[in-house]
Amino acid sequence: MFTAALYPSAGSCAAVIAMGMQMRPHRWNPPRPTARARQTHSDPPMPPTRLLPLPGKGPEDIVVLPDGRLVTGTDDGAIWRVDPASGAVERIADAGGRPLGMHADADGSLLICVAGRGILRLAEAGAELEVVVGELDGVPIAFPSNVIRDEDGTIYFSVSTRRWPFDKWMTDILEHSGSGQLVRRDPDGHLEVLVDGLQFANGVVLAPDRSCLLVAETGSYRITRYWLTGSRAGTTDHLVENLPGSPDNMLLGSDGLVWVGIVSPRNPLLDRLFPLPGIVRRLVDALPDSLTPAPVRSVWVLALDFDGTIVHDLQREGTEYALVTAVAEHNGTLYLGSLSEPAIAVTSVPAT
């Protein structure tokens, strides 16, 4: 696959270049993968999973409602409420676009990132969705990724990329231009970009003590921290770097840990592309999907504390479920979402 990507047939080169000239690749030397990145199972192993089937595919994010039911969205735009005990599924809204990250408030209302539409609010099942944030600096938000609301009404959200729409997410990863953002919306509606230049900004978590925000940088294998209070307020550092896979959505669990969906282990072919001249990645981006570096099928989640220590590392081979974009922990149960699967996977935190 790598050879074919680097050396397409001579007759296709002109078409490939013409299709990819809008891409502006930035060279990057990824950190050397750790030994953990090459392993396919965790120790202790991830407990067995069961599936909650959905009428649609791609439950990209999952949130737990105050009553214990789950909410997710699928690639057809539907928003579903799921009873994890019975498996009953109820369609509660149509997002009018691809639903991505979500946040559930204490009253059961939802904030939903919708590709091409921005941040929307669903007050209750069956209600019309209200656009809370549709533009940033006068430009429509094409790729909102994850969102959270503080108790005072402040909303924090990530924008994965300002250059590409959702269906070109792999182009942004390949380009590595760093156009992702972490944004705050004050209760009065004022918007402020807190952090710019993020590499495919994704999951967002607010520390329980409101001292900092965490944002996953899928394109750089790291989790970045933005300080809200104290002597470091307004600055950033990295909670953890050189992760063994690509972090996606993040949620604060009932156990106080930050749970992270690892959508894919590190792909050696992709890492080899980043330091090469930009023309190579333009060629690769223009090739059919079957010839480009694809996410490795795996079921993988991590849990970290706010010091950056990995407390849980759970992985199994992606034979029946894969591309885990989200994990919601609730009282020791883990609910996993996926970019492509037609179900929510359910497992548990191993007993210690």
Copy the structure tokens of residue 275. 């330091």
- Give Cβ neighbours of residue 17 (< 8 Å, ≥ 6 apart): 279, 282, 283, 286
In angstroms, rounded to a whole number, what is the distance separating the alpha carbons of residues 162 and 337?
25
The pLDDT, as a whole number, for residue 8 is 33
Is residue 124 predicted with pLDDT exceeding 70?
yes
Is residue 102 predicted with pLDDT exceeding 80?
yes
Residues of the chain with pLDDT > 90: what percent?
90
Tens-place pLDDT, residues 157-182? 999 999 999 999 999 999 999 999 99
Encoded amino acid at 313, one letter: D
CB 218 within 8 A of CB 200: yes
Alpha helices in 109-253 (DSSP H): 169-175
CB 46 within 8 A of CB 55: no
Q: Which has the higher per-residue pLDDT, 17 or 186?
A: 186
Tens-place pLDDT, residues 16-54? 333 334 899 999 999 999 999 999 999 999 999 999 999
The pLDDT, as a whole number, for residue 291 is 78
Least confident of 5-9, 66-70, 249-253: 5-9
Copy the structure tokens of residue 293. 């570096």
Task: Tell me the DSSP string of 58-107.
Answer: ----EEE-TTS-EEEE-TTSEEEEE-TTT--EEEEEE-SS-EEEEEE-TT
Tens-place pLDDT, residues 203-232? 999 999 999 999 999 999 999 999 999 999
The pLDDT, as a whole number, for residue 40 is 94
By C-alpha distance, which of 232, 233, 256, 254 is closest to 304? 256
Q: What is the DSSP letter of 296?
A: P
Q: Which has the higher per-residue pLDDT, 258 or 3?
A: 258
ω before 144 within 30° of 0 (cis)? no
**What is the β-pairing status of strands 89-94 and 333-338?**
unpaired
pTM value > 0.85: yes
The pLDDT, as a whole number, for residue 347 is 98
User: Domains in the chain, ordered, with CATH?
Assistant: 2-28+43-341 (2.120.10.30)
- How far are the Cα atoms of 12, 135, 172, 285 from residue 138, in angstroms, in the given order? 39, 6, 22, 29
